[in-house]
């Protein structure tokens, strides 16, 4: 198994492990370089940005999906994106634990998706949990989504929320931590 598969299955990893350094740091360096290229491309040259975004996601940028620069993705190989996904500027994606983004999801500015955390008794050991964002969810500006969270279909996460628990389909959550305020 690869480091990415191990992490996705819940195995903790010491970040000093040789295999982790080879695989994870290699992917992070690749993504950091491509994000730099994207973020330094003329924002009016949408075709060049899309070409680079396809390269970032190993050719798997689905139809109609676009991330507005600037943004940062650390492990694009662990992001599985649907069609017509839109992210406004400032997206931060720490995806080593895997992220599934279904069709039609929209992200406001400065959203953070975090699949990784450190073991409190040994901060050199990381643990991950997958984030899953279902169809047509709308994630407001400056929302942070923590490891292991599923955002339901058609859900809305209000601006500035910190999502620590799953959000049901067709619901609105807001706050720190995010709490259900209504069903839609």
Q: Which residues are designated catalytic?
A: 118
Helix 46-56 vs helix 26-39: crossing angle, to nearest 10: 180
Rounded distance, CA 63 to CA 66, Å?
Answer: 9
Rounded distance, CA 121 to CA 111, Å?
Answer: 29
**DSSP sequence for the chain:** --HHHHHHTT--EETT-HHHIIIIIHHHHHHHHHHHHHHTS-TT-HHHHHHHHHHHTTT---TT-EEPSS-EES-GGGEEE-TT-EE-TT-EEE-TT-EEE-TT-EE-TT-EEE-EEEETTEEEEEEE--EEE-TT-EE-TT-EE-TT-EEPTT-EE-TT-EE-S-B-TTEEEETTTTEEEEE-
């Amino acid at each position: 198994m690869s480091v990415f598969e191990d992490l996705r299955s819940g195995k903790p990893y010491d970040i000093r492990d040789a295999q982790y350094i080879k695989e994870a740091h290699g992917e992070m360096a690749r993504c950091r370089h491509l994000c730099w290229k994207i973020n330094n491309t003329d924002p009016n040259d949408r075709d060049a940005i899309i070409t680079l975004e396809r390269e970032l996601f190993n050719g798997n940028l689905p139809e109609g999906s676009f991330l507005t620069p600037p943004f940062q993705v650390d492990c694009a190989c662990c992001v599985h994106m649907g069609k017509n996904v839109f992210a406004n500027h400032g997206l931060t994606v720490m995806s080593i634990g895997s992220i599934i983004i279904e069709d039609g999801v929209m992200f406001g500015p400065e959203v953070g998706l975090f699949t990784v955390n450190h073991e409190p008794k040994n901060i050199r050991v990381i643990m991950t949990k997958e984030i899953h964002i279902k169809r047509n969810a709308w994630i407001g500006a400056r929302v942070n989504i923590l490891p292991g969270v599923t955002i339901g279909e058609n859900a809305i996460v209000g601006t500035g929320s910190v999502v620590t628990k799953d959000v049901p389909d067709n619901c609105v959550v807001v706050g720190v931590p995010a709490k259900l305020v209504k069903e839609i």
